[in-house]
Amino acid sequence: MKNFAINGLGIIKLVSNTLEEEKIKLTPDTGFNLIGIDYFEDIGNQLYVVEHFEMYQDALNAKKDRKNQEEYFVLYKDQNNEFCSR
**Per-domain residue ranges of the chain:** 27-85
- The pLDDT value recorded for residue 23 is 92
Structure confidence by residue, pLDDT tens digits, 14-64 = 667 788 899 999 999 999 999 999 989 988 899 999 999 999 999 999 999
CA distance 47 to 81: 21
Structure confidence by residue, pLDDT tens digits, 17-31 = 788 899 999 999 999
SS3 84: strand
